[in-house]
Chains A and B, each alone.
Chain A
Amino acid sequence: MPYCSECGVEVDAGVEACPLCKAPIHRSAECDEAVRPHAAYPDRIIDPEDRYHLTATERRRIAVELLSLAFGLAGAVIILVDLVVNQRLGWSLYALVSVGFAWLVSAMPLILYGKPWLVFTVLAPALPLFLFLIDVFDGRGIGWFLPYGFPIAGAGLAAVASVGAVVGASRRKGLNVIATVFLGAAIFMLILEGILDLNRGGLSPYWSAIAALALAPTAVVLYFLHGRVLRGADLRKVFRL
């Protein structure tokens, strides 16, 4: 019977490598026995009884269908209630736009699974559009959208896109992802306070500067840990006395 020269255990004729140490099993003339008619276990890996075992794609499709049905029903109920009570579409427009935006945010990552930039491309214009519609539906024309809504949404999206690009480009992901998020958040908060200050007629960063001063050094420490320590750098070399 064939055996593993490393482990000293016998194996079935026809086995190519030792199941214990992976060493190849050398066939010899004395071991020229009939190969076992079938493997010890079958090739099938899915339980035939598991009728409900769905693939990941099927699960996502079902989730999108359920989300669409739930949001569609919610939208229909909102319209009917507003029409029955007020005989016109009034407050329901806010709710409808919100429901539509919530559907986009929840369903798009499932529909475009594995394509994060395509998800961002769809959702990025949707956010300012959502804010614009909310502003318009109050009946007083365009008010807060241009001075506040659009620039803040734009800054937020730019921060998300920048962080995503930097994270996506990094070859090794770890603490550097958190550090990049921290830096992105710090820059966003500086811009946010700047937008608020400019609309009030001045520019004097205060709370955003404090937040940035807390986040930026933390990010630097995390970058250092990621790039130097966790990569396997010898700490005794770095911190030698």
Chain B
Amino acid sequence: MDIDEKPRRGPMPPWFALDHAAIIYPAVISDRITVFFRLQATLDKPVNVEILSKAMANIAKRFPHYHVELRRGLFWYYLEKNPEPHGPIADSRYPMQKPGIGRRGVHLYRVRAYHDRVALEVCHIITDGSGGLILLKTLLGEYFRLQGVDVAYVDGVLDPDSEPQEDEWEDAFAKYSMPGYPAPPHEVKAYHIPGTHLPVRTNRIVTGYLSVKELLELSRKHGASATEYLSAHYVAALQDIQDADPTQRNRRRRRPIKFEIPANMRKIFPTNTLRNFSLFMMPFVDTRLGHWKFEEILHTVKHSMALQLRPKELLKTITRNVQAARSIFIRALPLPLKNAFMRMLYSALGESLFSGLLTNLGPAGFPEPIAGRVRKVEVLVTPSPFMKTTAAMVSHGDVAAISFGSNITETDLERIFFRRLVKAGLHVKIESNVSSHDERKEG
């Protein structure tokens, strides 16, 4: 593979451009599309906020590309060093809300503490789930080190005193772009579940905990990975909703159920970047053809993923994203016009193409002795106006946590999905940020 290797020299510049996955986010960010995700770890003891604050300060210099603020240029947004101090804040009932992005001094990630839980909320403008997980691991490593624990700097726990590497803030999309590659085929719009939106600045989180051992056993029995197995159940749940949707009675007019499964590109295209570097797989079932059995859906998901995860296919999307931003016509557009264009693009090439999303970070991979001090880990993602309910998964030890983030009052998708897992023989425990008491109050 002919790769344009141009490593940058010298320290991190005082300002730098957004990576090619992030450039669309500032244009679409709103109270409804916050583009935040959250990683949270429940510890074995209550959080000491003073030590956590000190740990945040200690690791800040190790992640200069995260200590930035979003600024507005004439043609593009850019990221600039943020000199404002950053400390932990209290948790909120409705997490991952949009802060005053674009204002001076506003950080693009926040750390929250609640009893025995440390939560890291990160804006996708600066990194993806893999980058966020490294930040959380390093933060907890420093938190425990300040309490006298002998922490080893392995498995994504970075040494706060080490020097940041130049390739940690490289734009890996630009690095792997192959000018001249054909664009991926045009996609049709997907089916979206119906629902009544919750008030702005609120969301519902439903987390299901299950045994990793049980899940892997069941997945292997079906000849699939855990991601494929759970994605198939998710698609089957979406199909159940579409079958019950009165607007979808005419099967010939149905839109397909298209499912987004983000994949970490670092495993395929080597890079040390701590910024965004993930793409999505898109298995789909065409429900105009009739009702799909679970085994058929699983078969489709499994083979679609295998086909779409081939490097040459992925390079098509990487190249399309990079070359579009390099077009002189796009570059010359003033930012307000570009924002309007980006919003249309986000709707046409992003949101409207997917019925649902499941991102699996896999095992959190905390090394000992941190792992022994963390009881459970969860990852939460925000929904959007089209994809009203989305899911994310991470495991720690034998506990896998699947969290649904939703902005609608109906819980049909979560209910059907978890009931399917229970019916398949898994033990599921459920937690939510919205209780029946809240719903009675609000209703």
Q: Which residues of A contact B (CB under 8 A)?
A: 1, 4, 7-12, 15-22, 37-50, 52
Contacts and interface: CB of A to CB of B under 8 A. Distances in A.
Contact of B115 (A4, A11, A16, A38): A38
Contacts, number: 100
A20 B435 contact: no
B101 to A, nearest CB: 12
A94 B99 CA distance: 46
Given A19-B432, A19-B434, A41-B433, A7 B415 contact: yes
11 contacts: A8-B419, A10-B428, A17-B435, A19-B431, A20-B414, A20-B419, A21-B415, A43-B93, A44-B92, A45-B202, A48-B90
B100 interface: yes
B93 A7 contact: no
A16 B100 contact: no
A37 to B, nearest CB: 8
B97 interface: yes
A56 B299 CA distance: 52
A199 B110 CA distance: 71
Interface of B: 89-95, 97, 99-100, 103, 110, 114-115, 201-202, 205-208, 411, 414-415, 418-419, 422-423, 427-437, 439
A45 B418 CA distance: 27
Counting from the closest, the 4 A-B pairs by CB-CB distance are A17-B436, A19-B432, A41-B433, A8-B422
Contacts of A18: 430
Contacts of B110: 49
A10 B92 contact: no
Nearest to A3: B429
Contacts of A43: 93
Contacts of B94: 45
A16 B431 contact: no
A49 B93 contact: no
Nearest to A15: B435
Given A40-B432, A49-B99, A22 B91 contact: no
A7 B422 contact: yes
Contact of B92 (A4, A16, A37, A46): A46
Contacts of A45: 92-94, 201-202
B89, B90, B419, B430: most-surrounded residue (chain A CB, <10 A): B430
Contacts of A50: 97, 99-100
B114 A11 contact: no
A42 B93 contact: yes
A41 B115 contact: no
A9 B437 contact: no
A22 B439 contact: yes
B439 A9 contact: no
Contact of A47 (B92, B208, B430): B92
Nearest to A12: B431
Nearest to B208: A9
A42 B435 contact: no
Given A10-B427, A19-B411, A48 B89 contact: yes
B247 to A, nearest CB: 15
Contact of A20 (B97, B114, B418): B418
Contacts of B93: 41-45
A16, A41, A52: most-surrounded residue (chain B CB, <10 A): A41
A9 B428 contact: yes
Contact of A19 (B99, B206, B427): B206
A209 to B, nearest CB: 43
A37, A42, A48, A52: most-surrounded residue (chain B CB, <10 A): A42
Nearest to B94: A45
B206 to A, nearest CB: 6
B422 A40 contact: no
B193 to A, nearest CB: 15
B429 A1 contact: yes
Contacts of A16: 435-437
A16 B437 CA distance: 8
Contacts of A22: 411, 436, 439
Nearest to B202: A45
Contact of B89 (A19, A20, A21, A49): A49
Given A20-B206, A38-B115, A52-B100, A44 B90 contact: yes
Given A19-B411, A22-B411, A41-B114, 18 more contacts: A4-B430, A8-B428, A9-B208, A9-B429, A11-B429, A11-B431, A12-B431, A16-B436, A20-B430, A41-B93, A42-B91, A44-B93, A45-B92, A45-B94, A45-B202, A46-B92, A48-B92, A49-B99
B246 to A, nearest CB: 13
Nearest to B87: A49
Contacts of A7: 415, 418-419, 422, 430
Given A10-B428, A42-B91, A21 B433 contact: no
Nearest to B201: A45
B289 to A, nearest CB: 30
A16 B94 CA distance: 20
Contacts of B91: 41-42, 44
Contacts of A46: 92
Contacts of B100: 50, 52
A183 B170 CA distance: 64
A42 B114 contact: yes
B429 A10 contact: yes
A19 B115 CA distance: 22
A49 B92 CA distance: 11
A11 B89 contact: no
Contact of B430 (A11, A38, A48): A11
B155 to A, nearest CB: 28
Contacts of B205: 41
Nearest to A52: B100
Contacts of A41: 91-93, 95, 114, 205, 433
Nearest to A39: B435
A38 B121 CA distance: 21
A206 B427 CA distance: 78
